[in-house]
Amino acid sequence: MQINKNFQKIESSYLFSGIAKKVREYKAANPDKANSVISLGIGDVTRPLAPACIEAMHKAADEMANAETFRGYPPEYGQDFLLEAILQNDYLARGIALDKSEIFVSDGAKSDCGNIGDIFSNDNVVAVCDPVYPVYVDTNVMSGRAGDKTENGWSNIVYMPCTAENGFLPQIPDCHVDIIYLCFPNNPTGMAATKEQLKPWVDYANREGAVILFDSAYEAFITTPGVPHSIYEVEGAKTCAIEFRSFSKTAGFTGVRCGYTVVPHDLKADGVELNAMWARRQATKFNGVSYITQRAAEACYSSQGKQQIRETIAYYQRNAKTIYEGLKACGFTVYGAVDSPYVWLKTPNGMGSWEFFDLLLEKMQVVGTPGEGFGPSGEGYFRLTAFGSAENTEKAVERIKAYFAK
Amino acid sequence: MQINKNFQKIESSYLFSGIAKKVREYKAANPDKANSVISLGIGDVTRPLAPACIEAMHKAADEMANAETFRGYPPEYGQDFLLEAILQNDYLARGIALDKSEIFVSDGAKSDCGNIGDIFSNDNVVAVCDPVYPVYVDTNVMSGRAGDKTENGWSNIVYMPCTAENGFLPQIPDCHVDIIYLCFPNNPTGMAATKEQLKPWVDYANREGAVILFDSAYEAFITTPGVPHSIYEVEGAKTCAIEFRSFSKTAGFTGVRCGYTVVPHDLKADGVELNAMWARRQATKFNGVSYITQRAAEACYSSQGKQQIRETIAYYQRNAKTIYEGLKACGFTVYGAVDSPYVWLKTPNGMGSWEFFDLLLEKMQVVGTPGEGFGPSGEGYFRLTAFGSAENTEKAVERIKAYFAK
């Protein structure tokens, strides 16, 4: 049997798994400091689930205990009650007309962002922002779509640098590309894009017959008026964009696993609806989401659930501000935070991003994510997340301030 | 952008989605009979979850309600407590030495059976039993590995007929193949394979450098001594086999979603461990299983959980016997049922399997699965499942007996 040789081209470990290993090793070598390590690294939440979600899970678990209310195989694309709640709240309420059959509930946006590649030919040219969420690139390396690794990145991938110089907004490629990954509010830079800034992308994609894979996992953090929560707020997006959404950052579901993907019926290639292709992919290689999880997701849209979730988001937004203001006050150049849980900072004195990672871990016991891990243009930058506890976040910022005040 | 054109080769709907649609249409057209339709079709369970699992889910949900005990991103390969329980109970207790790092917890065996294709080259020759669980074939069609549809099936797939003539045991191919899907106890025929019957397959795979993808989703139904519950009970399997397991049929988790896949470190190709490849695939395109679900799965291995699950399995086994004995008594030729929740029957009077499906639905309001849906050699056969309620199962058998006694 022949293995998929593309796997041999890729780094042996996923970025965040690699960082977790480094932290474990540091703790093992420094047991006296192990307990004081604060992670503002991986974008994992720390606040408990909303009481409305907990209540819904208990109720659903009890239903599973009784033959009359027991639920077997879930519908592959999501329970109707959840599809309805998503449709009403995330789309119709924002003036976006969609149909339930255009929404596919899944175990998370990471799975969908990775698996969506199944429906595209391997001959497509992929464009990604640089820096970028590693899943977009890694999954294309695995499928062979990325080509070979060169000193300028993967040979078949078009990189769109996002740096301080262009305000972290990618430039439209001056060549033809087929698949464009966009994530706004952005991971890792924390920067948002307005409707006006997204419109040329939609126009480009419609003109070139390209598809935009739009990751809006962080839309709940948007505070600036005019920043769209969905790509479908931009005219023309339904004929060129697939949207990925997650309950992970919105409602703290990182450990519960639920997200959804929107594939409009109007999005076609060679006369074929991509919606039908994704439906066939999911029905064949996926079996739906836990009933209990889907009831918890539904509860996010109840009036109580909404209120509770808003409070948690506000808590993280205060953390983002603490980091942003604190670092700014001690001389760092900082970005993001306003419409996002991420703070993106320039490393001091032109320090390398992994060098800064080591410094922060060893001298301050603070874990962040080196910009270079997100791509070559991330070199010289560093990501901190707002998902820690308020106490730890303040403590981490104090340590950084104290160290750099020296 | 170019779509994956292999999708256009495939039937537009997945077998069980297609059957569900037919049943919905029948009910709509015959509202007076809609309530009396009994489904022994799709292999979905109907008994409630074990109380031990329910209790574990409540406890886990409460942990998620509290910042001190809240759990974020699960480990991509499974929580340690669940890996440990699986290792101890499903492997070490049977004398199979494995390591936790060889076990990967997932949202279900269907996902894993489909996604495993990611780690293999598209040039491999695939062999499947005929009839067969449609996911094995459909996912290979999607990747392009199946070739083109001909009147003898897919051009690049080697079909291994399993019929009454060979006791439903496939013959070892007389040519080289690379990837061999085996499922025992078998879906759909309900037949089991002994260690002695599996040994030549392991020898063939080791000799030819092939990989066996072994689906043992139904192992909990084994009653015959000497029938192995795991492919690793067969000597030499660790260098050639990947095993898929599911909590769906064992513990009624069809609506909860949990399974696991075993990839031994000894399984290599071109000097590369397939374990490392699957680990990379899962870390990149999957984000682990709900904490609550994993606690429920762990509870299946507690002494209470085991006892409760055994009782449910026994309930379904009585159903299997009811169907098997009932149909046999009225002259049907029947197979399976002993080590499996499935009864496989020969359609009477050489009737086509879809014709028999229509007859059963229209005259007896009983839903089953036409053998032809599982592959050409399934023509003339029909599958009934034991997963209904005892009452409905008896009712369905009585209706069939009454009709054919005429």
C-alpha closest to that of B183 among B141, B137, B231: B231
The token pair that represents A132 in the structure block: 């970028």
Nearest Cβ partner for A107 among B48, B107, B283? B107
Return d(Cα A249, Cα A252) in angstroms, integer: 5
Burial per residue of A5-40, b for 16 or more beta-carbon CB atoms within 10 angstroms, e otherwise: ebbeebeebbbbbebbeebeebbeeeeeeeeebbbb
Q: Strands A179-183 and A211-215, how do they pair?
A: parallel
C-alpha closest to that of A180 among A203, A163, A196: A203
DSSP state of A35: G
DSSP state of A347: P
Distances (CA, A) of B142 to A119, B12, B312: 8, 12, 36
Confidence of residue A108 (pLDDT cuts 50, 70, 90): very high
Handedness of CA B289, B290, B294, B300 (dihedral sign): negative
pLDDT (average), residues A25-54: 94
Which pTM was predicted? 0.96
Residue type, A266: D
Return d(Cα B39, Cα B188) in angstroms, integer: 16
The answer on pLDDT for A122 being more than 90 is yes
**Can you tell me whether residue A14 is helix, strand or coil?**
coil
Summarize pLDDT for B10-23 with one digit per residue, the tens.
Answer: 887 778 888 989 99
One DSSP character per residue, A89-149 reads: IIIGGGT----GGGEEEES-HHHHHHHGGGGB-TTPPEEEEES--HHHHHHHHHHTTT--E
Backbone φ and ψ of B298, nearest 5°: -60, -40
Summarize pLDDT for A59-101 with one digit per residue, the tens.
Answer: 999 999 999 999 999 999 999 999 999 999 999 999 999 999 9
The answer on pLDDT for A13 being more than 90 is no
Contact B14 A284 (CB under 8 A): yes
The token pair that represents B359 in the structure block: 């007859």
Contact A46 B67 (CB under 8 A): yes
Which long-range contacts (C-beta less than 8 Å, at least 24 apart) are formed by B200-208? B200/B172, B201/B172, B202/B231, B202/B234, B202/B235, B202/B236, B202/B237, B202/B240, B202/B241, B203/B236, B204/B172, B204/B173, B205/B180, B205/B240, B205/B241, B206/B236, B206/B239, B206/B240, B208/B176, B208/B177, B208/B178
Residue type, A147: G
- Give the pLDDT of chain B (406 residues) as one tens digit per residue: 999 999 999 887 778 888 989 999 999 999 999 999 999 988 889 999 999 999 999 999 999 999 999 999 999 999 999 999 999 999 999 999 999 999 999 999 999 999 999 999 999 999 999 999 999 999 999 999 999 999 888 999 999 999 999 999 999 999 999 999 999 999 999 999 999 999 999 999 999 999 999 999 999 999 999 899 999 999 999 999 999 999 999 999 999 999 999 999 999 999 999 999 999 999 999 999 999 999 999 999 999 999 999 999 999 999 999 999 999 999 999 999 999 999 999 999 999 999 999 999 999 999 999 999 999 999 999 999 999 999 999 999 999 999 998 6
Distances (CA, A) of B157 to A143, A221, A300, B167, B177: 21, 49, 46, 22, 9
Nearest Cβ partner for A286 among B44, B111, B124? B111
The token pair that represents B260 in the structure block: 């696991």
Chain A residues closer than 8 Å to B385 by CB: none
pLDDT value, residue A404: 92
Chain B residues closer than 8 Å to A270 by CB: 2-3
Residues A7/A9/A15/A21 CA torsion (nearest 10 deg): 80
Nearest Cβ partner for A287 among B123, B252, B257? B257
Q: Which residue has the tokens 């009782």?
A: B311
Burial per residue of B390-405, b for 16 or more beta-carbon CB atoms within 10 angstroms, e otherwise: eebbbbbbebbbeeee
Q: Which domains does chain B have, with CATH numbers?
A: 11-48+304-405 (3.90.1150.10), 54-302 (3.40.640.10)
pLDDT value, residue B225: 94
The answer on pLDDT for A208 being more than 90 is yes
Residue of chain B whose alpha carbon sits nearest to that of A118: B4
Contact A281 B142 (CB under 8 A): yes
Residue type, A127: A
8 Å CB contact between A293 and A257: yes
The answer on pLDDT for A14 being more than 80 is no
Residue of chain B whose alpha carbon sits nearest to that of A207: B1
C-alpha closest to that of A168 among A225, A200, A204, A129: A129
A57, A284, A391: best to mutate for the B interface, most B CBs within 10 A = A284
8 Å CB contact between B137 and B147: no
Q: Which residue has the tokens 């924002």?
A: A94
Confidence of residue A169 (pLDDT cuts 50, 70, 90): very high
Handedness of CA B115, B116, B122, B125 (dihedral sign): negative
Interhelix angle for A15-29 vs A353-364, to 10°? 30
pLDDT value, residue B16: 83
8 Å CB contact between A219 and A210: no
Chain A residues closer than 8 Å to B8 by CB: 272
The token pair that represents A315 in the structure block: 């808590």
> Smallest CA–CA separation between A306 and chain B, in Å?
16
Chain B residues closer than 8 Å to A286 by CB: 107, 110-111, 114
Chain A residues closer than 8 Å to B292 by CB: 57, 256, 290, 292-293
pLDDT (average), residues A202-221: 98
Contact B270 A12 (CB under 8 A): no
Summarize pLDDT for A324-339 with one digit per residue, the tens.
Answer: 999 999 999 999 999 9
Chain B residues closer than 8 Å to A49 by CB: 64-65, 70
Interhelix angle for A390-405 vs A303-329, to 10°? 10
The answer on pLDDT for A38 being more than 80 is yes
C-alpha closest to that of B116 among B244, B254, B220: B244
pLDDT value, residue A151: 87
Chain A residues closer than 8 Å to B54 by CB: 61-62, 64-65
8 Å CB contact between A222 and A194: no
8 Å CB contact between A364 and A350: no
Return d(Cα B165, Cα B176) in angstroms, integer: 24
8 Å CB contact between B48 and A65: yes
One DSSP character per residue, A302-321 reads: SHHHHHHHHHHHHHHHHHHH
| Residues in a beta bridge with A179 | A126, A211
8 Å CB contact between B376 and B159: yes
Q: How far apart are the first and last CA of chain B?
A: 60
Chain B residues closer than 8 Å to A59 by CB: none
Contact A269 B14 (CB under 8 A): no
How many contacts, defined by CB atoms under 8 Å, are there between A and B?
256
B69, B290, B389: best to mutate for the A interface, most A CBs within 10 A = B290
Contact A71 B274 (CB under 8 A): no
Contact A47 B57 (CB under 8 A): no
Please give the helix or strand (H or E) that residue A335 lies within, else none: strand A334-336
Contact B124 A57 (CB under 8 A): no
Nearest Cβ partner for B135 among A209, A284, A291? A284
Helices (H), A286-389: 291-299, 303-329, 353-364
Q: Strands B259-262 and B103-106, how do they pair?
A: antiparallel
Chain B residues closer than 8 Å to A123 by CB: 2
The token pair that represents B299 in the structure block: 């509870």
